[in-house]
Amino acid sequence: MKPSDLVLTIGELLGPEDNQFACLEFKDHYNRERVRRKAAERKGLMYVRDDRRALVTMRAQGKAREVPRSTQTTIYPGKVVRSGPGDMPLKPGKYSTKLGGKVAVGDLLGAPIYSLTLIERETCPKTCKLWTTCYGNSMHLAKRYVWDKSLQDAIYWQLTALKAYEKPILLRLHVLGDFPSASAVRWWGEVLDKLPLLHIFGFTSWPWHSRPGKAIDDLRAEQPKRFIIRRSGKQEPWGATVTNQVTADSHIQRETGRAIICPAERTAAGFGPKTAACCAQCGLCYNPKIENEIVFFEHGA
């Protein structure tokens, strides 16, 4: 099967015969998986089981926990660690209700998902619009890694052990934090060169005129299908914003076009398609063909 034969979004996966199921409030996880399996079979696609370890996620309320503007780092210093020998800093997506364990749609169908968490605010530009309301304010259990040479070595060792040179792997940068510097971005570029089946997606608050911002744009131009980083706080193509209006609408009209409200967050809020309950089942943010701004509900209160 060629990559072009694979579906790109969950909306293309579901047909009219599935609407009766997609519109229902599923009573349990197994019914939802039954719909996904049958839809994949009709399309002749590989069915990827939802292997998330927890299926209940916090519903976005359109408000966030706020800290003083003077805060310079995480409010949970006890969760900051340095990578050591044998450490595996990349966490499997199956332990995240939002991410999911394996890509279920698109060209990366079946690829395992991993994520990296750095220190919020400490690695972020002070211009970040979510400086005081970062959702890390409510993530008291997340382990935050210090970006240094030992962490870089641990990341590369783990990706090599996962055989990112033989099979596709999707990496989410960053659950918390941002690219610490332009040199960090260039380091990721070197990793992408060495591991041709590694794919990276995520968000950044670095403005385009900053050194890290320019490095991000350069790498995205070099690797348009494998380095998909959207700019937070920007109502523009390849942008990402938050809204405090929890709505059933699937789109928001912008001057630059139609912005898409995150299907996974709409699902968690009770509005979205039940078969796009996490990033693995949605695919919008890491689809190189989707330039639309992505809108997320403000959460973390």
How high is the pLDDT of residue 200?
98
Confirm if 198 and 192 have CB atoms less than 8 A apart: yes
> How does pLDDT run across 221-242, given as a tens digit for each residue?
999 999 999 999 888 899 999 8
For residue 174, say if its preceding peptide bond is cis, omega within 30 degrees of 0.
yes
Torsion angle (degrees, nearest 10) of CA 10, 13, 14, 16: 130
Q: Are strands 294-297 and 257-261 parallel, antiparallel or unpaired?
A: parallel
How high is the pLDDT of residue 15?
43
Confidence of residue 13 (pLDDT cuts 50, 70, 90): very low
How high is the pLDDT of residue 18?
41
How high is the pLDDT of residue 105?
87
How high is the pLDDT of residue 127?
93
Confidence of residue 29 (pLDDT cuts 50, 70, 90): low
The domain segmentation of the chain, as residue ranges, is 3-297
Highest mean pLDDT among 145-154, 161-170, 246-255: 145-154
How high is the pLDDT of residue 115?
97
How high is the pLDDT of residue 12?
41
Rounded to an integer, what is the distance from CA 88 to the centroid of its chain? 19
**CA angle at residue 263 from 261 to 264, to 5 degrees?**
125
The more confident residue out of 147 and 5 is 147
How high is the pLDDT of residue 146?
98
> How does pLDDT run across 181-226, given as a tens digit for each residue?
999 999 999 999 999 999 999 999 999 999 999 999 999 999 999 9
How high is the pLDDT of residue 8?
33
Q: In 120-278, where does DSSP find H-type helix?
A: 149-161, 182-194, 211-222, 263-268
Confidence of residue 253 (pLDDT cuts 50, 70, 90): confident
Half-sphere exposure at residue 176, Cβ-oriented, CA atoms within 13 angstroms: 30
Confidence of residue 177 (pLDDT cuts 50, 70, 90): very high
Confirm if 138 and 84 have CB atoms less than 8 A apart: no
How high is the pLDDT of residue 11?
41
Residue 124 pLDDT greater than 90, yes or no: yes
How high is the pLDDT of residue 256?
74
Extract the tokens encoding 85: 């020998």
Residue 166 pLDDT greater than 50, yes or no: yes
Q: What's the pTM? A: 0.81
> How does pLDDT run across 266-280, given as a tens digit for each residue?
887 777 666 677 899
Confirm if 198 and 172 have CB atoms less than 8 A apart: no
How high is the pLDDT of residue 155?
97
Average pLDDT, integer, range 144-162: 96
Q: Are strands 91-92 and 113-116 parallel, antiparallel or unpaired?
A: antiparallel
Q: In which element (H, E) is residue 151 found?
A: helix 149-161
> How does pLDDT run across 37-82, given as a tens digit for each residue?
676 667 665 556 666 655 555 555 556 688 999 999 999 999 999 9
Mean pLDDT for the chain? Answer: 83
End-to-end CA distance of the chain: 45
How high is the pLDDT of residue 270?
76
